[in-house]
Amino acid sequence: MGVTVLQPYPLPEGKSGAHIMDHLGKRLLSLGASHAGQFLVDCETFISTPQHGTPARAVHVLHNSEYPASTFSIIDNGTGKQVAIVADNIFDLLMLKMTSIFTSKKQTKIESRGARFEYGDFVIKLGSVTMMEHFKGILIEIEYRPCITLSYCWEMIREMLQGFLGINVPKEYPTYFTTQTIMNAMGQQQLHAKQNDLYEPMDTVKQYLEHFTNYRKHVQMHGSMASSTASISSVMLPSSVGMGRP
């Protein structure tokens, strides 16, 4: 495998997700790409029951159709640190047997699925993101197979994205690859340029989790705003009605 980058596609006003997916697929075919099947990436999150004052932990379980025999798990210990695990599919059965400790947040189960295309050394996937069967957005996955380090091929990937999407892609590296502050073996903080790391399949999974989390937050934010508006309306309504009485 090569280096993979995920790019959300902004929905034009008045256009449906299905319409845009069809448009992008036809555009790729007109450029000379060939259709190469379908793909699916899904994510289910389990939350632990807090015990003895310890913070709740989240276990994100993801599957990628490119690796059908594997289950990817990212454990968030509640303090900002994450542990990534790659296991076989028996990990899913293990989570089902731990219901006394971990509870599935089924209402936030999310996936990206759609058509897969090949164009020269590129693999491009047009993903329709849905949560509880509700459409949330379009997420493009693009892989450049000859490359193993993003810093060597970002400009080529960026040009390819701009060419077929018709949108401006910033020159800066995607947020997942930006320079990070890490703790070294001596317990000292130092800057780490992730764009120079050798790319691994888990990097793709972590990018999907990053974007899925953003979609979930967007839904939660709008849900909170709607609840607040409804509460304000319920408080104001009796006064308005009363004022209209003779």
pLDDT in tens, 106-119: 888 999 999 999 99
Report pLDDT for 243: 40
| Pairing assessment for the beta strands 110-119 and 34-48 based on DSSP bridges | antiparallel
**Mean residue pLDDT across the chain:** 85
Q: Which residue has the tokens 């990053």?
A: 210
Q: What is the pLDDT of residue 187?
A: 67
Token digits of residue 194: 């992730």
- Please name each of the domains of the chain with its CATH number: 3-221 (2.40.320)
Give the confidence band of 244 by pLDDT, cuts at 50, 70, 90: very low
pLDDT digits 0-9 by tens, 73-100:
999 877 677 899 999 988 988 888 887 7
Which band of pLDDT confidence, cut at 50, 70 and 90, is reported for residue 140? very high
pLDDT tens-digit readout, 21-74: 999 999 999 999 999 999 999 999 999 887 776 778 899 999 999 999 999 999
- Encoded tokens for 241: 């009605």
pTM recorded for the entire structure: 0.84
pLDDT in tens, 59-75: 999 999 999 999 999 99
The CA distance from 63 to 26, in Å, is 27
In this prediction, residue 222 carries a pLDDT of 52
Cα–Cα distance, 19 to 24 (Å, whole number): 9
